[in-house]
Amino acid sequence: MTPLVTLVDLMRRSVQWRLTFYFLLILTPIIAVSLYALDRSEQIVREQVDVRTREAMLSSMDQIDMFMNNVDQLTVHISGNKEMNRLLTNQDSPTKTILNAVTLKRQIVDIALMSKQVENVWMIVDPLGTLISPATGGRPFHYADLDWYQATIAAQGGVVLILPSQDAPQPHPQQTYMYGDPAFDPAQNAELLTLTRKMGLGIHGSAASRSVVGVSVSKKTLLEFGNRLLFTDDSHIFLVSPQGELIASTLSEPASVPWREWVGRNVSGRRVPYSSDPMYVTSVSSQSSDWSMILIQPERLIKHEPAQLQRFTVVMIAVSLLLACGVSLVVYSGIASPMRGLLNGMRQWKSGNRQVQLPNYRKDEFGLLTEEFNRMVELQDRYIRESYEHLLQKTETELKFLQSQINPHFLYNTLDSIYWETRNYEAGASSEMVLCLSKFFRLSLMKGRQAFTMQETMEHLKYYIRIQQLRFGDSIAFEQRISPESAGLFVLKLILQPLVENAIVHGLEKKPGGGTLTISSGVEGDDLVIRVEDTGNGIPEERLRYIREELDKVTGQSLRSFSQPRVELFGLANVQTRLKLYYGEGSGVVVESEGGRGTRSVVRIPVELCGSESRGGGAA
């Protein structure tokens, strides 16, 4: 079963799930808008941060360009200085040449002192093959074969940027000036970058045209212009030349990151070896120098404000979801609690507690519903009691009327027997018959008892059977088989007498030579079974079918009216009616017969209803 099917099934069976789903459904547009606004705000903040970062980087690049322009102007000033170019060309004697070199050194020192942000100013004096600088004074220097020197001469007065390789030699740490070592190339210090220009700028035909001036600046000085962009220790700046060469970097090992891929691009989510955080890369280029600056910084700096907004939004969404679930639970509890109370009340009423009343403290619709339930229970209880009492009175009246009809009917038949006996036999038999009749009526008319045990019932029936035996002589034999388990069970008074009477009058009396009447009782399963059998001629098939159909019409809910005397099936209908009234639809009498072999009337009564003589042993 898929989760969707499971959810639909839960919603169909549970109001609580439906309420929770509906509350969450209401929140769905709000959550969607919140997430969209969060994503959009993150994009806007990123764009704004990117714009501010680029503006700050361009501002730093402008400062670097201005600084480098000043350095370039310094090389222009020195290269076109007429006095310096005169000292370089005045070579009348070796002594004069040396004195000119000393004068040049003094002027270079003065320039270096005035340019505080310049790391070093030096000059190659071609006539002497000497390098002059404030740190070394003058020293021999083999420069003719150096690439940067040849490039400077070939530039014809143009400026040349010299970028030492990262593996260039470093100055000796014990020297006061980094150029104190005579073997050190001033243009190959890894910590500096140098602008060189050929002397004699603007002076045509000058002999100083193979002399070179160099101005070196520290890479740290350039990087200081971008320090305000670095807010964390893992943020770094890269300066790249138009040729794609690394000018300077705040990272000690720039080769560990792919800075060449970042030139001219803005990328996010980059990983670098020195930090576990993803990095954001921003790149800008100077329009004047074509230098590029690359800034890498942790993305958490850019996402700081969106992250706060994101946390706030997530908290609000979580609180909204919790409130939705909580409110749905409270609403469901407010609905389920009275519903459970009503359901419990209905179950109690169904189990037989007809006076159940539910506490009602509510004033809303559920309070009205509970109040109506209590009122309905009261009305139903009153109606049931009134209906039951009315039915009970009606039933008792009908039963007494039915029972009262038996006595005159039987009395008529008995008196008729006495009449014929007195005509055909001696008075002794008649007196015994009258005696049996008086005892029979004495037991029948006993007040206060509606039921007798099977044993007592058989004693009662014996008086009637004896009367019939006296009438027919030895032609009627009688047998009884009462099982021990059934002897003490109670049955209605006179319930068997009509069946015995039918067996004699309609069975044995019409058979020449008489027959045998047998009464037996026993417990079969959950029923007390009583059989009244005769060995008469039996009942024809059509007549038997008619009798059974008429008996099937008699039920406890549709009683036949006995307000008019009935001769047809009177005894059987009387017995069937009394059984249905007292013992329910599970009881009754069935007539069985075989032509020429006799008839059997079978009475079945549930054993559980034969336990006492109260109201005939039946259910109240």
Cα distances (Å, whole numbers) of residue 388 to 380, 383, 392, 542, 620:
12, 8, 6, 40, 10
Q: Are residues 256 and 143 in the same domain?
A: yes
Is the residue at 342 inside a domain?
Answer: no
The answer to whether residue 555 sits within a structural domain is yes
SS (H, E, C) 517-568: EEEEEEEECCEEEEEEEECCCCCCHHHHHHHHHHHHCCCCCCCCCCCCCCCC
Residue 180: is its pLDDT beyond 50? no
Q: Does the residue 370 lie in any domain? A: no
Type of residue found at 531: R
pLDDT of residue 521: 95
What stretch of H or E contains 269? strand 267-272
pLDDT score at 519: 95
Q: Is 84 contained in some domain? A: yes
pLDDT tens for each residue of 221-252? 888 988 888 888 888 899 998 888 888 888 88
Average of per-residue pLDDT values in the chain: 79
SS3 assignment, position 360:
coil
189 plus 280 within the same structural domain: yes
Three-state secondary structure call for residue 273:
coil
Q: What is the pLDDT of residue 422?
A: 60
CB atoms within 10 A of CB 365: 9
Q: Quick one: 453 and 543 in the same domain? A: yes
Per-residue pLDDT, 486:
92
Other C-beta atoms lying within 10 Å of the C-beta of residue 100: 21
Q: Residues 514, 472: contact at Cβ < 8 Å?
A: yes
79 and 227 both lie in a single domain: yes
Q: What confidence score (pLDDT) does residue 592 get? A: 93
Separation of alpha carbons 80 and 221, rounded Å: 26
Residue 458 lies in a domain: yes
The whole-number pLDDT of residue 264 equals 77
Last residue of a domain, one of 305, 329, 361: 305
Same domain, 301 and 439: no
Q: Is 478 helix (H, G, I), strand (E, B) or coil?
A: strand
Evaluate whether 470 touches 432 at the Cβ level (below 8 Å).
yes
Q: How far apart are CA 610 and CA 618, in angstroms?
A: 6
Give the residue from 305, 331, 350 where a domain finishes.
305
pLDDT for residue 32 is more than 50: yes
Of all residues in the chain, what percent carry a pLDDT higher than 90? 16
Please check whether residues 145 and 294 belong to one and the same domain: yes
Same domain, 397 and 300: no
**Does the pLDDT at position 68 exceed 80?**
yes
CA 37, CA 480: separation in Å to the nearest integer? 100
279 and 403 inside one domain:
no
Q: Among 109-113, 117-121, 314-318, 412-416, where is mean pLDDT lowest?
A: 412-416
Shared-domain flag, residues 416 and 513: yes
pLDDT number for residue 166? 61
The domain in which residue 98 lies consists of 51-305
Distance in angstroms (rounded) separating the CA atoms of residues 591 and 499: 10
Classify residue 1: in a domain, yes or no: no
173 has pLDDT over 50: no
Please report which confidence band the pLDDT of residue 262 belongs to, taking 50, 70 and 90 as the band edges.
confident
Which of 15 and 338 is assigned the larger pLDDT? 338
Taking only the tens place, the pLDDT of each residue in 447-459 is 457 888 999 999 8
**Number of compact structural domains in the chain:** 2
Identify whether residues 299 and 178 lie together within a single domain.
yes
356 found inside a domain: no
* Residue 440 lies inside a defined structural domain of this protein: yes
The H or E element spanning position 590 is strand 588-594
Mean pLDDT in residue range 273-283: 78
Task: Give residues with Cβ within 8 angstroms of 550, minimum separation 6.
Answer: 569, 572, 573
Let me know whether 512 and 606 are in one domain: yes
Q: What is the CATH number of the domain that holds 554?
A: 3.30.565.10
pLDDT per position as a tens digit, 346-373 = 888 788 787 788 887 777 777 788 888 8
Question: Residue 178: what pLDDT?
Answer: 41
* pLDDT of amino acid 229: 86
Q: Is the pLDDT of residue 518 over 90?
A: yes
Domain C-terminal end among 266, 285, 305: 305
Domain match, 296 and 151 both: yes
Q: Would you state the structure tokens that stand for residue 201, as one six-digit string?
A: 């700028």
Provide the 10 A C-beta neighbour count for residue 183.
9
The count of C-alpha atoms lying within 13 angstroms of the C-alpha of 124, restricted to the half-sphere facing its C-beta, is 23
